[in-house]
Amino acid sequence: MQLLKERILKDGVVKKGNVLKVDSFLNHQMDIDLLNEIGKEFKRLFADCNINKILTIEASGIGIACIVAQYFNVPVVFAKKTQSINIDGEVYSTKIESFTHKKVYDVIVSKKFLSEKDNVLIIDDFLANGCALEGLVDLVTSAGATIEGIGIVIEKGQQKGGDMIRGKGLRLESLAIIDGMNDETGEVIFR
């Protein structure tokens, strides 16, 4: 997606440790016009799919998923990172190791909101080592729902997540795949 790549080059910041900061437009401050263009692009890419629900994970996936959902006319469900006393009854749960926060989360979705009748589009902001995405896939599988596709805004192509997910035969569309970064020059190389 050309507009996204241009925005990454303009406002993304490459940091030591293979970190790309896009917090000025994607995952701390959010540019809603850009999110709408992202929504249109996912709709174009998944136009042939019969999607009735979008699943994402808190926190930074939620805003993207809600804007994207407008183009599919479907509700959003977000997986929650810890058991809350406001989640009652039974839940699907899995464990996700966070690269960013260096800890393991319990991640849950209420059984009320995911079932074998659902055809799910999974949406998230980043795909790197794939732990979060693998957890979401696990939740959908536990529910007996169908994964119609996975839409990622930025995939870090040098980490194993993309290959792992594609290796499972899942349909993964990433709007920008980054194959290299240089924290000294600030260079970003797209696939």
Residues 6+ apart with CB under 8 A from 27: 60, 125, 126
Helix (H, G, I), strand (E, B) or coil at 21: strand
69 touches its own copies by CB under 8 A: yes
Interface with its own copies (CB under 8 A), residue from 18, 52, 110, 129? 110
Q: Which of 6, 28, 44, 189 binds its own copies (CB under 8 A)?
A: 28
3-state secondary structure 88-154: CCCEEEEEEEECCCCEEEEEEEEHHHCCCCCEEEEEEEEECCCHHHHHHHHHHHHHCCEEEEEEEEE
Contact 72, 118 (CB under 8 A): no
Residue 74 binds its own copies, judged by CB under 8 A:
yes
Burial of 90 per CB tally in 10 Å (0-12, 13-18, 19+): exposed
**Region from 61-69, 131-139, 171-179, 182-190 binding its own copies, contact rule CB under 8 A:** 61-69
User: Which strand (E) or helix (H) includes residue 3?
Assistant: helix 2-11
**Is residue 10 near its own copies by the rule CB under 8 A?**
no
Among positions 6, 15, 144, 189, the unique one binding its own copies when judged by CB under 8 A:
15
Candidate ranges 24-32, 42-50, 131-139, 141-149; the one touching its own copies (CB under 8 A) = 24-32
| From 9, 84, 144, 163, residue interacting with its own copies (rule: CB under 8 A) | 84
Q: Does 45 participate in binding its own copies (rule CB under 8 A)?
A: no
Q: Which of 5, 23, 52, 159 binds its own copies (CB under 8 A)?
A: 23
Residues near its own copies (CB under 8 A) are: 15, 19, 21, 23-25, 27-32, 35-36, 58-60, 62-63, 65-67, 69-70, 73-78, 80-82, 84-88, 100-102, 109-110, 112-113
